Structure 1
Amino acid sequence: MTLRVTDLAVARGGVPVLDGVTFAVAPGTALILRGPNGAGKTTLLRCIAGLQPPLSGRIDGAEETIAYAGHADGLKAMLSVRENLEFWAQVFGQTDIAPALIAYDLEPLQNRLAGTLSAGQKRRLGLARLMVTGRPVWVLDEPTVSLDVAAVELFAAAVTAHLAGGGMALIATHINLGLDAQTFDITPFRAKLSQRSAASDEAFL
């Protein structure tokens, strides 16, 4: 099933930030979101992932298909690397965590407590969670934060393998991941100043 976003409007703190956003992500493809800081990339991704409602528009093909990775790694500090992945696999009705351990070079760390990992290691574990969800649509917000060059390559390889298996990826990033992907610039969809001003005024009424 294709993920389709049609004429979507989203707000941050009650203030419209994007309006009329329309795109589609087909199976086996990735879409890279671009735009300046503060333009609304995170708000858009959170809306698509179902973490906040849109102001208007449609999102089709998202229910029970999306695995989201935001700025937080979503780890339990007192569980080991293996236990964290096993926990998330169970949440999504999955069992096999071995491919995730291998893809992100986490096998040597699998018995370490997540709370003792470096920032980059935590990020690798946070991204590995996507692989144990069994969900076809990966929605990622700046996934390479804290990753070194080698870890970025691991991430890109994991995404490439996911796409090769018919999965989809929607990624907000400022760096070139070397993926065969289209780019979608959200800048033309920023809400007009009049919309923002009206919303701000209403907050005080």
Structure 2
Amino acid sequence: MDRRGPGRRARLGAACMNGLPEPRRPPPHDGPVVTPSPAPGGGEMAAAPEIRFTRGLAGTGHALPILALGAWFKHAACLLEHDRARFGPNLGDLDNADACRGVEPAAEALLAQADGGVRAVAHDLHPDFHSTRVAAALAARLGVPAIGVQHHHAHVAAVLAEHGRFDARPVLGLALDGVGLGTDGEAWGGELLWVAGARFMRL
């Protein structure tokens, strides 16, 4: 139980789930929003876009494959394995029933493509996001860990991955991405982080 009272929890939930106050909310989607659905005639969904890394991830010490579910805004799941990151469809913001209904099928479609099953399911730290609940349920069903990832740390890590940096050499990362739940239970905003692989420190 949060001893600081339900009011604080409600305020934190509102901040993390609804973004910053209206004048500073993130802009509308600037990319296509796709709801996963079977192809005509009951076929499979279209192939997911993917990023291939110049150097494979084998031998880096990472337990792969990993399924990662997105957070609240512009949700998309991702399957990380071998030398590639394969993405599910952009479902848009998880503020409506249609988008939320698409989270589990999109994740299941990526799971079906994993080579030998996944070793973990990653998700945002916020416990009330629909994607977090789906991730926890999937992890429990598969018998693998559900790993909570701090929102701004995830952004810095994504940039490192984009540049093929999968080691633990430290970097400074500036993530100006609005609100995300911090490791201290508070709402964090734009953050300067010291990041060394899975470890990070808020500066």
TM-score by length of 2: 0.28
Structure with higher RCO (Cα < 8 A, 6+ apart): 1
Structure number with the higher helix fraction is 1
TM-score (ref. length: structure 1): 0.28
